[in-house]
Amino acid sequence: MGPFTLAVLMFGLAWLLVAGARLWQVRPVWVWYVVGYPLTALRIVRTWRKVAILQDLAVAPRPTRSLLGDLIVRGEALKPVAPRISFPKATRTGVSVVVRLHPGQTPAPFIAAADALAHAWRVHAVRVTSPERGTVHLLATAADPLQQPGIASAPAAHLSALVGILEAGAAWVVNFRQVPHWLTTGATQSGKSNLLARLVIGLAPQDVALVGIDCKGGMELGLFEHRLSALTTNRREAVAVFGALVDELFDRMATCRAARVRSIWELPDKQRPTPIVVIVDELAELYLSDGTREGKAEAERCSTAMLRIGQLGAALGIYLFVAAQRMGSDLGPGVTALRAQLSGRICHRVNDAGTAEMTLGDLNKDAVVIAQSITTDEKGVAVCADADGTWSRARSHKTTTEEARTAAHKHAERTPYLRNVHRALLAVEGGGS
């Protein structure tokens, strides 16, 4: 091989490396299907039996006990049998493998071996689930999708907002029709405000009224004032708005009763009232009292109103999305009761274990441990869980202040007028009761 040929080959190799790196940035899914998936699938098939034996996932083909006189001798099987697996199936972010369990096996050993499987297969992580009896589903993600949390694709749906991406690569969607009320917690600079902004941007183009409860002077939700049907900046205004929303609940209840239906979604389109999403930024500002009788009364009225909305709002089209830096029973006697109504849970990085436990503990203990492991470098990363106990790590899409302000202005004409809420705010501003 001459010097010229060698130079051409080296140039060609360098070009392929540069082109491959560029293609990975522009079309990572293509590179994964063409190069990453075949190598990973081959690695899984080749290493499965060895990993299963080392991690005690294999079983003996026959009993390993024998009777010797009056003694029972136990021994290890010379050729343990690994559970059968399906051929690895490609997904957009990794591979999925179905394992057929041996009689007597449970998913617990596979959950414990998840890290070992990830190392053996050279993937980012392996998630273990058991969708049906006798099988285990292993979902391996090739790379961490939370490192660059773009907006994943998801079908458009009313009262749902695409806010980011899940660890498995699927879209992270907040859907109020499926999960009517939500609680999100997180310390300062954890990404909670970013999630709120992304939620409002997702809901702004839809036929929905947004009510902002921001008792920190409106610093957070004030960005969206042009798209909000109402914005409260102190607790006195919040009390009035919550009272008006409770009145709205009973009006809608009477409408449904007169029409012989159980929810507003069974009403004809022309008779159906506009759904309302109430966004509460910093729950503690509503519950903490200054010790005066008036302050305690305001906190109690806020607590009672939110609890009523949580109990009745799903069928009547009024939904809650509550954010808090910390969550604990010390905030007030109604906090635990309210939490029980907020079946959607999102926990960012928190400063105390009690908040993670209060947010996720009643749904899944494992999710609490994962939430406490979120570091300060993982801004926007959270653990989201549903009432059925399923959970996942997720990351909201980064949203700038300008994007939030632009979205509010763009869809300002879609802001519904809430007569009862508007009158309540006017009464407070005018000094009425």
Q: What is the mean pLDDT of residues 271-279?
A: 95
Highest-pLDDT range among 75-79, 123-127, 139-143, 352-356: 352-356
Q: Could you please state the CATH topology (level 3) that the domain comprising 28-143 is classified under.
A: Threonyl-tRNA Synthetase; Chain A, domain 2 (3.30.980)
Q: Is the pLDDT confidence value at 155 over 90?
A: no
The confidence score (pLDDT) of residue 318 equals 96
Neighbour-count burial for 131-169, b at 16+ CB within 10 Å, e otherwise: eeeeebbbbbbbbebbeebeebeeeeeebbbbbbbbbbb
Q: Is the pLDDT confidence value at 166 over 50?
A: yes
User: Of 367 and 250, which is predicted with more confidence?
Assistant: 250
Q: Is the pLDDT confidence value at 16 over 60?
A: no
Question: What is the rounded average pLDDT for all residues in the chain?
Answer: 85
pLDDT tens-digit map of 372-413 = 888 888 888 999 987 677 888 899 988 888 888 899 999 999
Q: Is the pLDDT confidence value at 265 over 90?
A: yes
Q: How confident is the model at residue 240 (pLDDT cuts 50, 70, 90)?
A: very high
pLDDT tens-digit map of 50-66 = 999 998 888 876 655 55
Q: What is the mean pLDDT of residues 219-231?
A: 91
- Closest by alpha carbon to 154, among 143, 169, 144, 133? 169
Q: Is the pLDDT confidence value at 25 over 60?
A: no
Q: Is the pLDDT confidence value at 20 over 80?
A: no
For residue 256 the two structure tokens come to 């449904």
Q: What is the mean pLDDT of residues 126-138?
A: 87
For the chain, the structural domain boundaries read: 28-143, 146-429
Q: How confident is the model at residue 345 (pLDDT cuts 50, 70, 90)?
A: very high
Residue 424: half-sphere exposure toward Cβ, Cα within 13 Å: 22
Of 29-33, 45-49, 244-248, 313-317, least confident by mean pLDDT is 29-33
For residue 196 the two structure tokens come to 């709120």
The confidence score (pLDDT) of residue 227 equals 94
For residue 111 the two structure tokens come to 């959950």
The confidence score (pLDDT) of residue 34 equals 81
The confidence score (pLDDT) of residue 432 equals 47
Q: What is the mean pLDDT of residues 10-29?
A: 53
Highest-pLDDT range among 2-16, 145-159, 311-325: 311-325
Q: Is the pLDDT confidence value at 75 over 60?
A: no
The confidence score (pLDDT) of residue 251 equals 94
pLDDT above 70 covers a percentage of the chain that reads 85
The confidence score (pLDDT) of residue 183 equals 94
Q: Are 235 and 253 in contact (CB under 8 A)?
A: no
User: Of 259 and 64, which is predicted with more confidence?
Assistant: 259
Q: What is the mean pLDDT of residues 80-88?
A: 90
For residue 237 the two structure tokens come to 């205004």
Q: Is 422 exposed, middle or buried (0-12, 13-18, 19+ CB in 10 A)?
A: middle
Q: Are 404 and 223 in contact (CB under 8 A)?
A: yes
Q: How confident is the model at residue 148 (pLDDT cuts 50, 70, 90)?
A: low
Give the whole-angstrom CA distance, residue 413 versus residue 77.
73
The confidence score (pLDDT) of residue 268 equals 92
C-alpha dist (Å) from residue 312 to 233, 252, 309: 25, 10, 5
The confidence score (pLDDT) of residue 23 equals 47
Q: Are 393 and 382 in contact (CB under 8 A)?
A: yes
The confidence score (pLDDT) of residue 207 equals 93
CATH fourth-level superfamily of 146-429 = P-loop containing nucleotide triphosphate hydrolases (3.40.50.300)
The confidence score (pLDDT) of residue 72 equals 56
Q: Is the pLDDT confidence value at 342 over 80?
A: yes
| Conformational region of residue 144, where left means phi above 0, alpha means psi within -120 to 50, and beta covers everything else | beta
Q: Is the pLDDT confidence value at 160 over 90?
A: yes
Q: What is the mean pLDDT of residues 125-143?
A: 86
The confidence score (pLDDT) of residue 130 equals 83
Give the whole-angstrom CA distance, residue 112 versus residue 262.
45
Q: How confident is the model at residue 87 (pLDDT cuts 50, 70, 90)?
A: very high
Q: What is the mean pLDDT of residues 92-107?
A: 88
